[in-house]
Amino acid sequence: MKQLLFLFLDGVGIGPPGADNPFSRHGGSAFRVLAGDQRWCQPFEPRTSAEHLVREIDATLEVDGLPQSGTGQATLFTGVNCAKVVGRHFGPFPHSKTHGVLDDENVFRKLHDLEPAPSPSTAFANAFPPQFFDASRRRVTVTTYTCNAASVPLRDISSLRAGRALPADLTGATWRRHLNLDVPERSIEASARTLHSIAREHTFTLFEYFLTDKVGHRRIDTAPADLLTSLNTFLSSLLDTLDPAHDALFITSDHGNLEDMSHTQHTRNPVPLIVYGWAAPFFTEATSLAGVTPRIVAALRSTT
């Protein structure tokens, strides 16, 4: 069976190298391998082979201003230019004008509707703490809205304890220290193995990593170099487990941020589009966030 694992990195653009771009000096070996032996910096040279595709794609969506997560992610996960639907970039949460698009056009629903049956199985691998499920405090993101719209279960603390979901920070430290929750400490390598095992059981698996955006905004006290070191460990462990004939690792982002630490805002830089594995040829025509969902659907349609 072939499967597609979508690693969504929030707030990672491809910017000019320099002292303010942590990818200049701190992107490790796994970043380099994934980009086809180059840094995640401009000039980001395209790479194309049967099992590896490297591109930069547009995240501005032909709309002025700084791209935001609400409209960027809604575009990424539907194939509809949601910045144009709203008339501006909007975020971080989904704009009410995009709810209908997210309900009807989201990637999970498109995959569930593929013929012939049985439709591809799908998963959202993130674990959410009990606080998230408290409706009064709930802040619905594009991804959680999308999952609810397509009846994709949100994984909880019991899934995390059972090794059937990943904490957003990859180790669970945030759950223990900031949320006072009793969850086991796990290594980044173990989280990568968990993600791979979830991906192996589903045709399409999504994992959302948003600390890249938080560090870009300086909302958490982690140095960009340290964050990239842990992310490199995660990527490296994932690469170790992947069999490109059966697994395809797909990586992209919704807008730039972390690659320019001279300020704490998003950027208009392009974002990476990386496919490592069998699905690479399906993404050659993608040029913007709006091109992602149609290519995911085309790739997985070919496996039914």
164-203 footprint of Zn ion as x/- string (CB under 5 A): ----------------------------------------
- CA gap 268, 277 in Å, rounded: 28
213 touches Zn ion by CB under 5 A:
yes
| Whether the Cβ atoms of residue 87 and residue 61 lie closer than 8 Å to each other | no
Question: In whole angstroms, how close is the CB of 266 to Zn ion at the nearest point?
Answer: 6
For 19, 60, 162, 211, the CA distances from 231, given in Å and listed in that order, are 20, 25, 23, 10
Q: Which stretch binds Zn ion (CB under 5 A): 123-131, 182-190, 205-213, 233-241?
A: 205-213
Among 82, 62, 44, which Cα is nearest to 274's?
44
The count of other CB atoms within 10 Å of the CB of residue 254 is 31
Q: Which is nearer to Zn ion, 75 or 205 (CB)?
A: 75
Q: Which residue's C-beta sits nearest to Zn ion? A: 213
Measured from the CB atom, the residue of 7 and 279 that comes closer to Zn ion is: 7
**Total binding residues toward Zn ion, as defined by CB under 5 A:** 1
Binding segment toward Zn ion, per CB under 5 A, in 20-28, 115-123, 180-188, 206-214: 206-214
Min separation Cβ 77 and Zn ion, Å: 16
**What is d(CA 46, CA 273) in angstroms, rounded to the nearest whole number?**
10
**CB atoms closer than 10 angstroms to residue 198:** 23
**Nearer residue to Zn ion within complex by CB, 211 or 279:** 211
Q: Is the dihedral of CA 84, 103, 121, 143 positive or negative?
A: positive
CB of 257 to Zn ion, least distance (A): 6
Contact (Cβ atoms closer than 8 angstroms) between residue 250 and residue 228: no
User: Which window, 129-137, 141-149, 209-217, 223-231, contacts Zn ion (CB under 5 A)?
Assistant: 209-217
Q: Closest CB to Zn ion among 59 and 111? A: 59
Task: List residues near Zn ion by CB under 5 A.
Answer: 213
